[in-house]
Structure 1
């Protein structure tokens, strides 16, 4: 293997490993450990698995089936989700790092802190290296105790994800006593208006689509609400020209009949169906993400998710920066005009740019007879000047090949004639 090939192979291997080292699937990791099956199940039910898989560096503090069952039996799904978010640290910790904590204690940010539901430092976890080799975990809220401790290491993919078992849930003040939200009491239009989506809120009320949203929310609903500025943007179609049925379809296209938080959207690879979908691939959305940015593609245009109005199982409402225009209603975008073809200049006339002149054969020698008297030179000799092929009277210019070959041909003819005469 050459040096260049070896260098390319090494580079490709390093590049490939950099991609694969950042990929993880928490449910697949925990599937190999049946003692955490209850915890794993709730990661899927709450969609936290998608959020965990979409992040690059974190630590999951898992609970055994016994500890997790005790937590789940007493609290609704929304509270369980918050408790699991508090067990997901946005930093990498393994056994060695836990025992090497600077000053013996540190605060770590959790997923719960990113939801906006944690007041003050309720979304932080206190990690303290205790005497005797133990490590304690607790809420960072003042007066909180270290009610949980490190049990063992489960799985690490340095420095991407670490799974550690702890003895009990981490309890933040007020976390487990929060009342379960009543989805039927959620004021969807009020939330939309407060988020700057008054036009969209008015449309779903006047069209009757609000009732469709409300009937779907119990089983899970995600809404993509265009901002008021989106309806004023240049190039927005005149929605007043749509029929009532088409307006209903357009508004249904802005919702998905499932609880789909941002983490689930980031990990979505297949097109997602909307409330307007009436067949395979009809009125669907394609999702792409780059870092924390998530965009929705309709086939006509694309729109970026610009904010979260509410994320509370089983309801998600996001704001988007443009109206989602389904290709089934608005057709494909116009193809770009072809680039102008450059106009070539007229071809030059033969006089200005002559075609290659055919090779002119040398004149045939005189009939085989004795040469003329010495006073006259043989035709084609230097004394006669250049032959017909190079005559200044010719209207065409011979090529260099003719100029080189003609004297050779003439000389050959002369010597052939001379040899014939001498042989006679």
Structure 2
């Protein structure tokens, strides 16, 4: 692996510099390198490294990994599962992933400790220059012609965390994929729309005899020791290696979310599921870790004169289900496509294609999702919808296809028809009016 000194001494600038080797950055690097462009992928940690995540790959994620030639590797390191088992308000239901012409009908669980390094090193094997243990500190000062333009930088000042050495790494274009707390994104001027939903999550690992279950569990009704409902949801994802990933989350659209202690929420959930899964202090493998997740394309602008923002740094998490990995891979791939056209034509204006394609892929879907999570944040609505829905399997199977974004463009089944009706409604009612209708005047901080 090249050192920072080697890269800094390079006589030619890179075609593209990418900050962050998570799902979005590594996917972008892979697709660009495979197309023959010179890429520098910069990651502040060294692999393998821990990353707070549910560790679940849906069929959308598996499809992207397969496109990069990585499914066999993931299958060796991960655990294959067949669908979702949902619980809530006295009911439960097992739902297999739907059959789809493009996506597989299964998913995998695999820790980010293992997954992220595999994808980054795969990009490296296809020609990307990978720098790990190197932190991007700031933007390279723009040229006089670029000065004063939002997103004008095309390079970063970096620091080798081991040696303390600093250097500038320049490229014709810069991609920001350094996660939800994006240092470089903020330096470029990106901001989050605070009135849009944001998630908070906490996860920990436990040993369990049920580590190889063929389902991932989602609990939509968490209770405190007094039996009172707590605003949030929980999950248990079997990892197939003797462990399960146990986590909780909540949405900023819930009126009481700021007052929720996520550590206590996790404790309530573990107590609620302890008997079924053998969860206790003895099976706990360490303290839980957590973070915040901007959702629904809440962060922008995504495009600058010579920059693109991708993945969590652009708020690409799906509000319906909290999934971020698939949309990291997809946004990285879409960015690589636009960058390839800009590089081939020597025309930075082609970067606008990324915005257009992101809006085409997710604009309507995320508008519906943002409205949906506001709706189910009302406890009475949630209890009625979940309690009734989990007793009607055909309905929930269609809802699963919508929430996991597994509708088909070539098929007009109930999920597709229902979703298109939701799009028409979401486009007819301004989001602000919808928030007022539900009495939600809060913003997430």
Sort the TM-score into its range (normalised by shorter chain): under 0.3
Structure number with the bigger relative contact order (C-alpha 8 A, sep ≥ 6) is: 2
The structure whose Rg is larger is 1
Greater percentage in strand? 2
Q: TM-score normalized by structure 2?
A: 0.21
